[in-house]
Structure 1
Amino acid sequence: MKHPTALRCLSSAVLASLWLVPASILAATAASDGGIDIGEVSSSTNAAGTAAARAKALRESPENQVQITHQQIRDLVQPGGSIVTALSAAPGVQVKGYGSGNGASRYQIRINGIQVGFALAPGNPEKNGLSVLFDGVPMNNPLAQYDGWESSETPISSIFSNIHVTQGPGNPDHRWYDSMGGTINLIPVEPTAKAGASLDLGGGSFATYSASTMLQTGSINGWRSELGGGYTRSAGFRTGPYHAPNQAEAFFAKTIKDFHGGHFSAGFFFSHTQEFRPLYIPASPIPGVTTGGYGQPGELLSQGTTGYYYTVPTSQYFKNDTAHMYLVYARLMVHLAQRLSVDNTLYFRSGYRHHYRVNDYFPHTVNTEDFTGTTRTIGDRLAFHWNLPMNSVRFGGYYQHSRYESLYYGYNPAVLASSASKPLFAADYYDYWDGATAFLQDDFHPISALHITPGLQLINYHVQFVNNSEAAIPPGSTPVTYKAGNNDNSYTKLAPSLGINYRILPGLHAFAIWAKNFQTAPAAAYGNYQQATVEVPKSPTDINSYIGGLKWHMGAWQAQLSGFHQHLGNAVIATFLPSDLISKLDRVSAIYNGVNLLLQYGKGLGFFAGTRDTIQHAYYPSYLPAGGSPVIDARMPGTPTLILGFDAGYRWYAANTRFAVRLSDQYASSVTTFNNNTNLPDPTRLPGSAYNIVNLGLSADTLAFDSMIPGLKRVGVSLMIDNLLNRKYNSQGYITSGGEYGPNSQGAILVIPGAPRAVYASFSASF
């Protein structure tokens, strides 16, 4: 299906010309320079070349930003674990999983209540409310029906060196289309000037094991490159006859060429995941819901009767997700003049997900789903930096085109001999999304202690929906298809921002930022899984964000205290009902209020401690369900009032070895639920949703073997015990309408438990 719009053609031509101009400068410069010496030059996305410069930039920024270091990643991520678990080092962030705990599992991430990633139930207006970047390149699908980005897309944590987290929309120079509640930049390890290699092996509870490696070529004719990748697998912690291993692998390559006046880099990333997702567990017994199936003989199925982690066998239910992603990008930074530089990034991303579910526990009219989602994205971002006296001006923009196809077959082999080749339900949709933006931003500092940062972004979003369902019907079958008509919709908006940072005392800064941003609604709002042509939203979802507070850094101490008030408007919650192959569209507004505290003490060696605490209140001023009456001031499901984190430990050096011990504790208060019967937020508390988890970590990094093995630089071992006290808690849950466990379960609470105690060990070596 072609999409020959004037905007797309014009933007493509501009995109090509913007890339060719800096590329020609690179070719001419490289030819004249020959093999110029290179140093440890960071890419432009890292913002600063040294840790001290990065810390200074964070203190002087009007934004609420946190840099999660490589050491924190090593401390927080278990062997084979997901890189997103390290986000718990940032205030206001909550990470919740449901699977095996390794990188192949999917996690829900919230920043100040706004989320991205896996969500069990509807009711949260921002399932795609955080932009997630790989080395500064966006990975979100802007029209995803459910979650625009999944943590399993980046399953190997050892690929990454640090994480940059921005709360709220942020300044326009690094804001993207889904930067509503925040932006998370996952920054991979950079190629180094010296050759080297590293190896990481890990294993532990639930038959979890992992292996990864990174190879640095060093400088070769002025180019420095790296190759890395890894594999992780786990059988999962769910008990009973259910068998559902998860596994994932990823590969990463990057090369950098530094030359007089700039640098060029190119990267490639691939990940592949295969995951079995278990069925949810009733929190309490339900009449007729047994281990043998709905209405069959057997023990009543629930956390209280069959065990907290019990899952029905795969013969009764299983869901298998297979996904892969390719990302290719190139970046060029050139100093055009003494005070003027240009940075251009061109990227292409291809994503694929196949979702296959069989439910024989309670045979629905449609008990088998076969769904394939495919995305293709190309984009380019061009930004200029003009450094003037008392002003640092940034201007530029980006263009991105995405095509998203959803192909769905629903069938029941016991009814009319239906199968994948003769489905009962069929849907095939093409969604095209174009985003074109231009921005102007100034960092005005009339005195060294004061930074005033106004910004303005012009946004145009263009969404086109094409219903291809009739053409997708397999020969010989007559399935039900829904007749939503094609539509074409555009939005043009101005997104301003204004920030201020004032140095009160050396190391003490006051900061504040107000920012707006806009994003398009999910694909269901434009026609996906709709019975008739829809009335598309007249305006995109918008956010007004106010964040401000104090930043303090002095010696071994670091602190950040901030308050936030964010108002989300024109949001659309799309609730997809697989058994009926339709979506319901609820229209809501939401408010997120709260306070975050970050306080840390520590140096390289000796005692260290820190706390990360959040008090928040998220609610709906208005929640209008499809075909119902509005509900006022309902609490937002799944959002705790309190998130409290504390860690402490000690590092010491002896016998050419650095030892460390670390103890951490995280508490979250209970949350409310969403009711699929009323299609509304419900005040009922989710059982087991309040939790207090203690983790213990021990590690040793030694140089003692360097003289014994040629080329060896460092050997490290670690032991991590997660959930040391073996607390039982539930990660997510909702009130069911009876779709999974039959009509007797209507009104019951279904839950996903969090992981029990787990022990992991790792071995690493650097050459």
Structure 2
Amino acid sequence: MIFSVRHYFIKSRDNSKNAFYSQYAPYYATRFVPNDKYRSDFLDVTDVAAFFQDKIHPISSVDITPGVRVEQFQMNYTPFTTETFPESSQLYPKGNQAILPTDSRSLSAVEPSVNISWRPIHHLALFAGYSEAYQTPAFGGGGGPFQAIPASSLSLEKGQNYQAGFKVHVAHDGYLHHFLFSANWYFTRFSNQYLPITLTNGDVINADGTSDYEGVNIYAVDNPLYWLHTFANLSFQKAYFSNYTVKGKSYDGLPVANVPDATFNIGAYTKSFVDGILLEPRIWVQYTGPQSLYDSITKSPSATAKLPSYTLLNLALHSKIPMHMAYFRNVGVDVDLLNVLGNRYNSYEYISSGGTYGPNTKGDLIGLPGAPRTFYVSLTANF
């Protein structure tokens, strides 16, 4: 039996500063004196937690690791919009999205976890686990918690994770050298989420709900030759809202936007010495599967529209050069070439309602282009 205790203390400050304005007549406004919606408020969060964990061995091939984390969140809200935008507070008072006074909220949570591992034979391990975690709702956007939602109605968002799988490890057998293969199923539920819907005019519809993520992860690594290391990982995932209703409209069953259906990575690298310099060339391919889009017209994720998949080829050469100097041990020179083939793709898209770029764009796809062919060189030194 191995018992351990850990703790941490985290203090953070968020500022919700944002402003909408028109620089044209008759307003001639600026981002310093916005004429529409504006806000700039602070949320200070102190997170104190203690984690207790034990490791139990009922028999030599079984490990049971129960744990519990006790967490305390102290949130303090300070409105600061009138100080940030004094002119707007006088000229356009209706635009101030921080409508609530100074407030605070203290919330606590108990987060249990347990993991079980069983090794029925030498090369095989089976495992399963469950864990819970809590977090404070996101602060900012169009009012939101504390600014438009009173502290008394806030509660922590909850995450529950289930997983089960197996691992295979082969030290040496034919072409397998330090071979590791693993596959696991997982199910994650985020409940009591703060799920705002932002309108094109900056207004926000505040709502909460539950989203579920279910999938399979697979990965493998091996050294088929003593100088060659290979790796690959594959993930399939389904993400959807199991509970999400806003103003009588149900979003239950709709996909969560911007979550790939699948991802796949495969690559290899090797290490060799050339004239005393350690060289490590790498090659890897990254595949990102289709992603559901957000539809700004219906104010919900689209049930059918998807961002197309894309694949990137990447190369790299990392080196370590020994330095025979009093204050330098070695110098590293790394060269990375990403998206070698120069593929053109969008990393993000949504269906426009026409409110941002004009009514003629209603129904158009607005996209964020992915990075083109990119070349990096970096230099490091060890003293």
User: What TM-score range do you get, normalising by the shorter chain?
Assistant: 0.7 to 0.9
- Summarize deviations over 1:438-489 as a string: whole Å, max 9, x none: 4332111233432211112333334343434345542584223236323443
Where does residue 164 of structure 2 map in the other structure? 548
1:560 to 168, 175, 182: 182
Where does residue 636 of structure 1 map in the other structure? 256
1:450 to 59, 62, 78: 62
2:53 to 441, 463, 470: 441
Question: Per the alignment, do residues 582 and 466 of structure 1 end up closer, same or farther by CA in structure 2, a change over 3 Å counting?
Answer: farther
**Inter-partner Cα distance in structure 1 for 2:56 and 2:237:** 33
1:721 to 317, 332, 337: 337
What's the TM-score, normalizing by structure 1? 0.44
Question: Per the alignment, do residues 748 and 501 of structure 1 end up closer, same or farther by CA in structure 2, a change over 3 Å counting?
Answer: same
**Shift in Å at residue 647 of structure 1?**
0.6
**Shift in Å at residue 634 of structure 1?**
0.9
1:481 to 96, 106, 111: 96
Q: 1:744 aligns to what SS in structure 2? A: helix
- Alignment partner of 1:510 is 2:130: no
**Inter-partner Cα distance in structure 1 for 2:204 and 2:351:** 18
Where does residue 131 of structure 1 map in the other structure? none
- Summarize deviations over 1:531-569 as a string: whole Å, max 9, x none: 855586553211111122223333322222211111111
What's the TM-score, normalizing by structure 2? 0.84
Asked if 2 retains the 8 angstrom alpha-carbon contact of 1:529 and 1:583, the reply is no
**Inter-partner Cα distance in structure 1 for 2:132 and 2:145:** 31
Where does residue 170 of structure 1 map in the other structure? none
**Inter-partner Cα distance in structure 1 for 2:147 and 2:57:** 56
- Alignment partner of 1:570 is 2:189: no
Asked if 2 retains the 8 angstrom alpha-carbon contact of 1:524 and 1:574, the reply is no
**Shift in Å at residue 676 of structure 1?**
1.5
Q: 2:360 aligns to what SS in structure 1? A: helix
Where does residue 600 of structure 1 map in the other structure? 221
Asked if 2 retains the 8 angstrom alpha-carbon contact of 1:619 and 1:635, the reply is yes
1:159-238 equivalent positions in 2, closer than 5 A = none
**Shift in Å at residue 614 of structure 1?**
0.6
Deviates more, 1:548-557 or 1:415-424: 415-424
**Inter-partner Cα distance in structure 2 for 1:395 and 1:463:** 25
1:416 to 10, 15, 27: 27
Question: Per the alignment, do residues 469 and 700 of structure 1 end up closer, same or farther by CA in structure 2, a change over 3 Å counting?
Answer: closer
Question: Given residue 316 of structure 2, which amino acid in structure 1 is its aligned partner?
Answer: G
Question: Per the alignment, do residues 678 and 648 of structure 1 end up closer, same or farther by CA in structure 2, a change over 3 Å counting?
Answer: same
- Summarize deviations over 1:331-360 as a string: whole Å, max 9, x none: xxxxxxxxxxxxxxxxxxxxxxxxxxxxxx
**Inter-partner Cα distance in structure 1 for 2:8 and 2:337:** 44
Q: 1:602 aligns to what SS in structure 2? A: strand
**Shift in Å at residue 663 of structure 1?**
2.0
- Summarize deviations over 1:114-160 as a string: whole Å, max 9, x none: xxxxxxxxxxxxxxxxxxxxxxxxxxxxxxxxxxxxxxxxxxxxxxx
Asked if 1 retains the 8 angstrom alpha-carbon contact of 2:41 and 2:98, the reply is no
1:106-117 equivalent positions in 2, closer than 5 A = none
Question: Per the alignment, do residues 515 and 745 of structure 1 end up closer, same or farther by CA in structure 2, a change over 3 Å counting?
Answer: same
Question: Per the alignment, do residues 701 and 684 of structure 1 end up closer, same or farther by CA in structure 2, a change over 3 Å counting?
Answer: same
**Shift in Å at residue 653 of structure 1?**
3.4
Question: Per the alignment, do residues 537 and 546 of structure 1 end up closer, same or farther by CA in structure 2, a change over 3 Å counting?
Answer: farther
Question: Per the alignment, do residues 677 and 700 of structure 1 end up closer, same or farther by CA in structure 2, a change over 3 Å counting?
Answer: same
Where does residue 685 of structure 1 map in the other structure? 305
Where does residue 75 of structure 2 map in the other structure? 463
1:609 to 204, 218, 230: 230
Where does residue 751 of structure 1 map in the other structure? 367
Asked if 1 retains the 8 angstrom alpha-carbon contact of 2:184 and 2:217, the reply is yes
Asked if 2 retains the 8 angstrom alpha-carbon contact of 1:616 and 1:642, the reply is yes
- Summarize deviations over 1:84-119 as a string: whole Å, max 9, x none: xxxxxxxxxxxxxxxxxxxxxxxxxxxxxxxxxxxx
Q: RMSD in angstroms over aligned alpha carbons?
A: 3.1
Question: Given residue 203 of structure 2, which amino acid in structure 1 is its aligned partner?
Answer: I
**Shift in Å at residue 423 of structure 1?**
3.1
The percent of aligned pairs where both chains have the same amino acid is 23
Q: 2:244 aligns to what SS in structure 1? A: strand
**Inter-partner Cα distance in structure 2 for 1:717 and 1:699:** 6
Asked if 2 retains the 8 angstrom alpha-carbon contact of 1:686 and 1:734, the reply is no
Q: 1:458 aligns to what SS in structure 2? A: strand
- Alignment partner of 1:431 is 2:43: yes
- Alignment partner of 1:406 is 2:37: no
- Summarize deviations over 1:50-90 as a string: whole Å, max 9, x none: xxxxxxxxxxxxxxxxxxxxxxxxxxxxxxxxxxxxxxxxx
Question: Per the alignment, do residues 752 and 764 of structure 1 end up closer, same or farther by CA in structure 2, a change over 3 Å counting?
Answer: same
Q: 1:637 aligns to what SS in structure 2? A: coil
Q: 1:560 aligns to what SS in structure 2? A: strand
Question: Per the alignment, do residues 491 and 761 of structure 1 end up closer, same or farther by CA in structure 2, a change over 3 Å counting?
Answer: closer
- Summarize deviations over 1:489-539 as a string: whole Å, max 9, x none: 343332211111223334532222101111121125995489855586553
Question: Per the alignment, do residues 696 and 540 of structure 1 end up closer, same or farther by CA in structure 2, a change over 3 Å counting?
Answer: same
Asked if 1 retains the 8 angstrom alpha-carbon contact of 2:16 and 2:42, the reply is yes
**Inter-partner Cα distance in structure 2 for 1:751 and 1:526:** 23
**Inter-partner Cα distance in structure 2 for 1:671 and 1:560:** 25
Asked if 2 retains the 8 angstrom alpha-carbon contact of 1:482 and 1:530, the reply is no
**Inter-partner Cα distance in structure 1 for 2:18 and 2:145:** 10
**Inter-partner Cα distance in structure 1 for 2:275 and 2:13:** 58
Asked if 1 retains the 8 angstrom alpha-carbon contact of 2:14 and 2:139, the reply is no
Where does residue 317 of structure 2 map in the other structure? 698
**Inter-partner Cα distance in structure 2 for 1:442 and 1:663:** 41
**Inter-partner Cα distance in structure 2 for 1:421 and 1:568:** 38
**Shift in Å at residue 712 of structure 1?**
5.4
**Shift in Å at residue 594 of structure 1?**
0.9
- Alignment partner of 1:673 is 2:293: yes
**Inter-partner Cα distance in structure 1 for 2:84 and 2:314:** 51
Higher relative contact order (CA 8 A, sep 6+): 1
**Inter-partner Cα distance in structure 1 for 2:287 and 2:108:** 43
Question: Per the alignment, do residues 686 and 393 of structure 1 end up closer, same or farther by CA in structure 2, a change over 3 Å counting?
Answer: same
Question: Per the alignment, do residues 661 and 748 of structure 1 end up closer, same or farther by CA in structure 2, a change over 3 Å counting?
Answer: same
Asked if 2 retains the 8 angstrom alpha-carbon contact of 1:670 and 1:685, the reply is no
**Inter-partner Cα distance in structure 2 for 1:551 and 1:647:** 20
**Shift in Å at residue 681 of structure 1?**
0.6
Where does residue 174 of structure 2 map in the other structure? none
Structure 1: gaps spanning 5 or more residues: 1-390
Where does residue 355 of structure 2 map in the other structure? 739
**Inter-partner Cα distance in structure 1 for 2:356 and 2:236:** 35
Q: 1:567 aligns to what SS in structure 2? A: strand
Asked if 2 retains the 8 angstrom alpha-carbon contact of 1:605 and 1:650, the reply is no
Q: 1:411 aligns to what SS in structure 2? A: coil
Asked if 2 retains the 8 angstrom alpha-carbon contact of 1:604 and 1:651, the reply is no
Question: Given residue 582 of structure 1, which amino acid in structure 2 is its aligned partner?
Answer: D
1:656 to 270, 273, 276: 276
- Alignment partner of 1:618 is 2:239: yes
**Inter-partner Cα distance in structure 1 for 2:190 and 2:117:** 25
Question: Given residue 29 of structure 2, which amino acid in structure 1 is its aligned partner?
Answer: S
**Shift in Å at residue 713 of structure 1?**
4.3
